[in-house]
Structure 1
Amino acid sequence: MTVQRMDNVAIVVDDLDAAVAFFTELGLEVEGRAHIEGPWADDAVGLDGVRSDIAMMRTPDGHGRLELTRYVTPAAARPAPADPPPHTPGLHRVMFAVDDIDGTVARLRAHGGELLGGIARYEDAYRLCYLRGPAGIIVALAERTG
């Protein structure tokens, strides 16, 4: 048996609507929204009393998906620090290829996106940056230049 595909990456957020707006501005599309609860959800997640709302976001090419999840119960745990730096062990970041990094950063700033540094050039191949989005999510952007 082999893996068929990577289906999605789940990100827990405090404000689902703000996260949906941020990733919609980035160019992802809402594939669907749902309320999740019941014994099957408790079993799958390994928590008791799971009640959550999710939004499934799809990349324009249809191959990548993000599942944005807001837990109603149990309350989401907050790691310390609240906004871990990029070198913290665990999920590092989600990277998206874009065709206009300057325009994308400007649009995401209007939705709370905050550059962690600047927009860097990697040789003559890419312009790259990291920004922090909703719930402290680090989003990387890459614009091919060469």
Structure 2
Amino acid sequence: MILSPDHVTIAVADAGPAIAFFALLGFKKTHVATIDGGVPARYMGMPAIRAQHITLALEGADFEIQLLQFDPPPGTDPGVHPTNLRKLGFNHLAFRVDDIEGATAHLVANGVTMLSEEMDYIGRKLRLFEGPEGITFELVQRDA
């Protein structure tokens, strides 16, 4: 019934650093829209929402990262940090790569924080990083 993942939406305080971060992974901005009430806001259950909706696509993949930058930004709870993988709800986003060492070097050279050393697990090399707004993402290299 399910064909494939389509997109993931990430709420951000400032879209600029998130766009730059995902560009390091090969994503390109393909669409920008302003949500100011209307059908999209009602669909999301927030009829008074005002936000920028930015779509980032990965060439050759049928998958998007969609960023939502709210205006004004919502308050945050400083006691809850997204890299806390023990909290309920969203845990992390994983991207498959063909060279985890090379991808890691590229990200670290561009200031991305590595959260774990490499781990071998069920035929995969894995490594965790901190992404925009403190979300955790993972690189995955599958054994050939």
Bin of the TM-score, shorter chain as denominator length: 0.7 to 0.9
Q: Distance in 2 between matches of 1:109 and 1:134?
A: 14
Q: Distance in 2 between matches of 1:44 and 1:3?
A: 22
* Equivalent residue for 2:128, pick from 127, 130, 134: 130
Q: Is the 8 A contact 2:51 2:69 kept in 1?
A: yes
Alignment of 1:88-99 (within 5 A): 88-99=87-98
One-letter code aligned to 1:64: F
Deviates more, 1:81-90 or 1:106-115: 106-115
State the Cα distance separating 1:40 from its structure 2 match: 2.0
Q: Percent identity?
A: 26
Q: Distance in 1 between matches of 2:115 and 2:69?
A: 25
Deviates more, 1:27-36 or 1:78-87: 78-87
In the superposition, the TM-score normalised over structure 1's length comes to: 0.83
Change (3 A) 1:54 1:112: farther
Q: Is the 8 A contact 1:25 1:108 kept in 2?
A: yes
State the Cα distance separating 1:15 from its structure 2 match: 1.6
Deviates more, 1:127-136 or 1:35-44: 35-44
**SS at structure 1 position matched to 2:51:** strand
State the Cα distance separating 1:4 from its structure 2 match: 6.3
Q: Is residue 143 of structure 1 aligned with residue 141 of structure 2? A: yes
Q: Give unpaired runs (5+ residues) of structure 1.
A: none
Which residue of the partner structure matches residue 10 of structure 1?
A: 9
Change (3 A) 1:99 1:6: closer
Q: Is the 8 A contact 2:83 2:135 kept in 1?
A: no
CA RMSD of aligned residues (A): 2.2
**SS at structure 2 position matched to 1:54:** strand
In the superposition, the TM-score normalised over structure 2's length comes to: 0.84
**SS at structure 1 position matched to 2:71:** strand
Deviates more, 1:104-113 or 1:93-102: 104-113
Q: Distance in 1 between matches of 2:86 and 2:9?
A: 20
Q: Give unpaired runs (5+ residues) of structure 2.
A: none
State the Cα distance separating 1:84 from its structure 2 match: 4.2
Q: Is the 8 A contact 1:113 1:133 kept in 2?
A: yes
Which residue of the partner structure matches residue 117 of structure 2?
A: 118
One-letter code aligned to 2:32: R
